[in-house]
Chains A and B, each alone.
Chain A
Amino acid sequence: MAQHRVAPAPPREGLRAPVGRRKFLGYLIAAPTLVVAAELTRQEIFGGPSASAAPILSAPQPPEAYDLLDFIRDAMRPTANLIRIEVNRDGTVSFALPRSDNGQGIITSTQMIIAEEMGLDVDQVRVTLADARPELLFNQITGGSSTTFSTYTPIRVAAALAQMRLLDAAAQLLQQDVRTLTSRKGLILDPLGNSLPFGDLAGPAASAVTEQVEVALKPREDFTVIGKPQGKTDARDIVTGRKQFVNDLKIPDALPTVVCRAPDLNGTPDDVENLDEVRKMPGVTDVEIISTGVAVRAKTFGQAIDGVRALEVAWNRGTVAGEDDASILKKLKAAELPLAVPAGVVDTVEGAFTFYFKSNSSLEPNSAIADVRSDGAEIWGPMKNPVTAQNAIAKILDLPQNAVTVHVIQGGGSFGRKLFFDAALEAAQASKAMGKPVKLMWTRADDSRQGRVHPMCTSRVRATVTNDSVLSFEQRHTSVSTDFTHGLGDAITATAAKAPLGNLGFSETIFELTQASPYNYGVSTRVLNEVDMRFNTSSMRNVYSPDVTTAREVVTDQLANKMGRDAYEFRREFARSDRIRGVLDAVAKQGRWGRSMKPGTAQGLGVHHEYKGVTAALVEIDCRPETVNRRIREAVTGPRVTRVTFAIDAGLVINPKGLEAQMMGGINDAIALILSSSLHLVDGHFVEASWDNYFYTRQWNTPPELDIVIVESDHDEPGGAGEAGVAATCGAIANAYARAVGKVPTYFPINHLDPFPFEPKPLVPPVPESPTDGLRYTY
């Protein structure tokens, strides 16, 4: 078929000249159909404002896997690090997003951003998740609530260029002045009523050469898609069971595989007594020792679990053998850095808080598929950090990085857990050892006991005050180290983080860049000290902020008390910006701050500033005995958060429905963090092995009344959403609780030191047997 191509675009003049609007550089890519691109790297690293959530650190170390030759190769491909939008001949527009969606709705919001620039309906845009692309360097990590902030402009640049190119092609074919054409729902229309579908224009608009083109973006006042509530575009697939997670994929011969793990945290296998017997069990195909345990592959997961339960393994001790909560807390206290202002010299308000270990286990347990061959490997998994994963997997398989293909699959929740790829590493090892593809899944007990955790930490605060002002506010945060060795999404920074002291540098940088105080508290310092104790840690939704904010907000209430001020008025006065006052006012009004509350119930406030946005929460809690002691089988009931009013100024909002959803999730997380959910370390292992041990918020804990207010913002750029709901709510719940019971808690969650309301599951075998009496509980 003949290819019609349009002439190069004429210089922009007259009406279409982007006068007074910032111009951006996009790329036309030589291809048989219209392919446009924009630079993700430069936008973010050298051009745009530095993101609080995506700190740019010192120069990367010489890499091991992605080396100079790779770099030169990619440097010689000037368009290698671009993100591309393609207009297909069937009229659809497609884009592979170099991020990981685990439910936060970034596929939907990305569809919206492209639809906006191109005059399409949201469902006319196809967004998939890109495989690992090492040439993107820093630009393939999903974390720090940075996705929309970092991809918003580049995606718009590419989409706007595609639109410009389609209009130009249509102008030539329709013999019309391009200024008279409009674009709607995948059609370019002229004033006479003629129209051409994108599909017919995809070829003619294609470029024979790759070249840079200047483009202006649609002005905000013309937006019709961005800012309008949009339901998740995969909702129908989800409610019909069609959405596929990694364990739902049908990869040929990738049979269910489960690892038998040690009773100790990070214990390793020494010897197996009965390998051959287990290999003969029904359904079992392979049993092999890997670095973290003994992998059993079988026809069904049930039979793999039976194999795991039957294994008799001699184990080496784990990394924290013999330790418990108290011994770790003692080490943390010993590592606390001194406060600068001495106690007792001036008038001070102090607080000292302990935050126990928490699990960031998602409902989809750690899972991955691996098909390892002698000359290459293919990996499937929900990875927020596929480039680092690709590098690490190549290393353990002794393969070149480019021989490992990493497919990013949508995940069933992350909450930080999927920054790492523990299941993918094991799947690669198991597949190599067995010489067969494997579908490897952690059991719930493993995911909870051996999976990554939010580290235990302490926060000490000392503020010095006069009658009407706060002179200084010091916060010393001391934590079991948080593992940031995933780096910023590429092998280079991950290698830097693994260098001596590298991780502490990362931690401190991230701490410093995320922990801005929302208040004018005079000389205000926040210092982090981390102690490496060989736990499996990782960022958990909102990383340091839930703990740091809780400590700060509880002390803020005490400061208000000391000055005899109302907690809301006090915060208003000391707030560092009008944006903060805006969200505070919103919750105070909507949530009726100061309304009369019954004894045993109370309101509480919290404020936070992060991810280019500000948040406030007003919480009501019920701590009356009839509520606290209500009985639900195998559950923690306790104090009930009865109402949450939450306000966010998130800057430019792409999808208000999606933003509200993220806030709702963060609020329910906060309820668990402050009131009910924690891991207990006993004799070198975590006790909790079930969702009826680890008390994440359930229907009976969730607030019956919930209002989320999105405050109008004149900020032009979108802030972060994924984690923004947690911290302010944590602070508000802690303050409401303190007021209701008349006592300020010194540790969180508040039930941590209560007796276990459950019988701990055995450690050997590491996974409990599935019950057989399920039909007794039908309803």
Chain B
Amino acid sequence: MPSRTLSLNGEKVTVEAEDDVRLLWVIRDLLGVTGPKYGCGINVCKACTSHINGKAFNPCSVPLSAVKESDEITTIEGLADGEKLHPMQEAWIDQDVPQCGFCQPGQIMAAVAKVRQCRKEGREVDDAAIEEIRNICRCGTYNRIREAIKAGAENM
């Protein structure tokens, strides 16, 4: 079984797994990093949303072999700067967004990436931009998510 080195949340980690195992399971089941959640396994619910080189992606749909050692993978656990939370995490707490919390790591990672994308493309972080986010929240916290994204964006 091949051994591979990944860059996960700023650390180099080595893992033994077959090439086709999806990154979500490598992260969760083999490395024990459980912030990204399984909600569908087919890149639909987006509960596993994490970042690869700063961009949102869904590790449920990426085989281990598609990731290079130089790729910086960030899960929700790696978003804060030590104990100092990312502005989006702060906004999430301020707006009291989470209910069960299962989708929220993915929601926050998606929100951060969406704001960065809008900035890069010179777009407003408005309702239209937020409605491009596909992450499901089955508790229905969407309205607070919207408020939090707008507030978090102001401090990013």
Q: A residues touching B (Cβ–Cβ < 8 Å)?
A: 102-105, 231-232, 234-245, 247-248, 250, 256, 282-283, 299-303, 305, 361-365, 410-413, 415, 441, 443-444, 632, 634, 657, 661, 664-669, 690-692, 696-700, 702-704, 706, 767-768, 770-775, 777-779
Closest 3 CB pairs of A and B: A241-B35, A103-B100, A668-B140
CB proximity of B106 to chain A, nearest CB, Å: 10
Partner of B134, one of A410, A698, A702, A703: A698
Partner of B85, one of A239, A302, A772: A239
Interface centre among B100, B105, B117 (most CB of A within 10 A): B100
Residues of A within 8 A of B55 (CB): 778-779
Question: B50-78, CB under 8 A of A: which get 1 and which 0?
Answer: 00100111111111001000000001110
Interface centre among B56, B130, B137 (most CB of A within 10 A): B137
Contact indicator B99/A104 (Cβ below 8 Å): yes
Question: Interface size on B (CB < 8 Å)?
Answer: 79
Give 14 CB contacts A-B under 8 Å. Answer: A239-B105, A241-B77, A241-B105, A242-B35, A247-B38, A256-B25, A300-B30, A301-B29, A364-B37, A411-B100, A412-B37, A664-B143, A702-B143, A772-B63
Residues of B within 8 A of A772 (CB): 20, 61-63, 66
Contact indicator A444/B77 (Cβ below 8 Å): no
Q: How far is the CA of A283 from the CA of B114 in the complex (A)?
A: 36
Contact indicator A444/B41 (Cβ below 8 Å): yes
Question: B9-33, CB under 8 A of A: which get 1 and which 0?
Answer: 0000000011011101110111010
Q: How far is the CA of A305 from the CA of B93 in the complex (A)?
A: 36
Q: How far is the CA of A661 from the CA of B1 in the complex (A)?
A: 48
A362 with B100: in contact, given A775-B66, A779-B117 (CB under 8 Å)? yes
Is B125 an interface residue, CB under 8 A from the partner?
no
A667 with B140: in contact, given A232-B96, A413-B102, A779-B56 (CB under 8 Å)? yes
The prevalent SS among residues of B at the interface is loop
Q: How far is the CA of A441 from the CA of B43 in the complex (A)?
A: 18
A302 with B24: in contact, given A363-B39, A668-B140, A698-B136 (CB under 8 Å)? yes
A235 with B45: in contact, given A303-B21, A363-B102 (CB under 8 Å)? no
Q: How far is the CA of A300 from the CA of B41 in the complex (A)?
A: 13
Contact indicator A299/B99 (Cβ below 8 Å): no
CB proximity of B87 to chain A, nearest CB, Å: 11
Residues B87-139 near A (CB distance < 8 A): 89, 92-94, 96-105, 108, 113-114, 117, 127, 130-139
Q: How far is the CA of A704 from the CA of B127 in the complex (A)?
A: 8
Contact indicator A103/B131 (Cβ below 8 Å): no
Is B144 an interface residue, CB under 8 A from the partner?
yes
Contact indicator B29/A250 (Cβ below 8 Å): no
Q: How far is the CA of A732 from the CA of B134 in the complex (A)?
A: 26
Residues of A within 8 A of B131 (CB): 632, 699-700
A666 with B140: in contact, given A104-B99, A774-B57 (CB under 8 Å)? yes
Partner of B99, one of A244, A302, A441, A661: A661
Q: How far is the CA of A697 from the CA of B140 in the complex (A)?
A: 7
Contact indicator B93/A235 (Cβ below 8 Å): yes
Q: How far is the CA of A283 from the CA of B21 in the complex (A)?
A: 10
Partner of B140, one of A243, A303, A665: A665
For the A-B complex with A301-B28, A415-B138, A698-B134 known, give 14 more contacts whose Cβ atoms are closer than 8 Å. A236-B85, A240-B89, A241-B34, A300-B25, A303-B18, A363-B138, A413-B102, A444-B42, A664-B140, A664-B141, A664-B142, A691-B45, A702-B140, A768-B42
CB proximity of B155 to chain A, nearest CB, Å: 14
CB proximity of A725 to chain B, nearest CB, Å: 9
Partner of A235, one of B34, B57, B98: B98
Residues of A within 8 A of B61 (CB): 770-774, 777
